[in-house]
Amino acid sequence: MGDSGVFTIGELARRTGLTTRTIRFYSDEGLLPPADRTYAGYRLYDSASLARLELLRTLRELGLGLVDAGEALAGRSSVSDLAKRHVELLDEQIRVLRLRRAVLRAVAKNGSELDEVTLMKNLATMTDEERRALIDSFWDEVTTGLNIDPDFDARMRSAKPELPEDPTPEQLQAWIELAELVQDKDFRQRIRAMGEQHSTARDDGASMAAPTEDEGQRWWTWSSAAAEAMEAGHAPSSPAGQALATEIATATKLSPAAAADMIASGTDARAERYWQLMGTINGWAPVPSQVPRAEWMAAALRAAAD
């Protein structure tokens, strides 16, 4: 800084640590207009220019683009407003980076091939709205035009995959599997068939409403009894199986064959898998698989019908 109180680009560079090339670029872009020029045409800057350059460097280090930085320096946008907008952009970038990290963790854990890596990346970067829309489209296809109990329909649709900002490899893998499952043609047809059975039953006068607390507890008691019998190595045709079959038929007021059909019609391993995956994604407490127990009960009822 000479007697005139001005800086050359070189002096600005030494004071700020920025390169002369960067300072010259900012000046050419109109972000750092020179305070004066020498007789030879060289640009000169004053103390206000130094302060402006320091602010410009801070804004750029915070990630603001040249346009936004220029708006702030010109007073057309407040630094506070620009900061708020930039925070929103950073939040989205952080979300994407976390998902990318989760994908790489899952790839490293599973030893995934290239095609699976691409699929993981595409599904992981879907927004919450896109994930919800995928689930909604699934339920729309499998229930449209059917006489579905409104409460049952609402309960099925209410669960949505809420992938955390920083998902574990297991959560990410569960979401990928769930997304593939709901897009699988055979799975959609199977759930549609189950919906048609539900609809037909309602057309015939059955309520098909959600089980009451007592009914839910009764089913859990039967399921637990079946699990104990299976663990003990009892066959469905064993005395334990036949005692349980009699209890189920009596409580439901159905013949053993009809009760077996009722249980079998509502039993599907992939339908159960849907809820297991949803639980993993959302961090729900794991629930033991009911399908083997239900199949054992249905077999016990069929043995009683013979």
Does 227 share its domain with 190?
no
Q: Read off the pLDDT band of 193 (50, 70, 90).
A: very high
Contact predicate 236/303, CB 8 Å: yes
Q: Which CATH number fits the domain that encloses residue 16?
A: 1.10.1660.10
Tally of domains within the chain:
3
pLDDT-derived band at 1 (thresholds 50, 70, 90) equals: very low
Joined together, the tokens standing for residue 25 give: 């670029």
The token pair at 62 is: 């915070």
> Do 179 and 159 lie in a common domain?
yes
Based on the domain organization, do 132 and 191 belong to the same domain? yes
* Cα distance from N-terminal residue to C-terminal residue, the chain: 105
Last residue of a domain, one of 135, 169, 199: 199
Last residue of a domain, one of 142, 169, 199: 199
Q: Looking at the predicted structure, is the pLDDT value of residue 302 above 50?
A: yes
48/120 same-domain check: no
What amino acid is encoded at 293 in this protein? R
Q: Is the pLDDT of residue 67 over 70?
A: yes
Same domain, 66 and 142: no
- On whether residue 89 sits in a domain, the answer given is no
Same-domain status, 65 and 134: no
> Is residue 61 located within the same domain as residue 30?
yes
Q: Give the Cα separation of 235 and 242 in Å (integer).
A: 10
Same domain, 38 and 71: yes
Q: For residue 112, what pLDDT is reported? A: 62
Contact 81, 47 (CB under 8 A): no
What pLDDT, in 10s, does the model give residues 252-277?
A: 898 999 999 888 888 899 999 999 99
Distance of alpha carbon 49 from alpha carbon 54, whole angstroms: 9
Q: Which residues span the domain enclosing 225?
A: 211-305
In a domain, 82, yes or no: no
Q: Does residue 53 form part of some domain?
A: yes
Q: Which of 47, 76, 105 is the last residue of a domain?
A: 76
Q: Are residues 193 and 217 in the same domain?
A: no
Residue pLDDT, tens place only, 88-99? 777 777 777 777
- Per the CB < 8 A criterion, the answer to whether 249 and 283 are in contact is no
Share of the chain above pLDDT 70, in %: 92
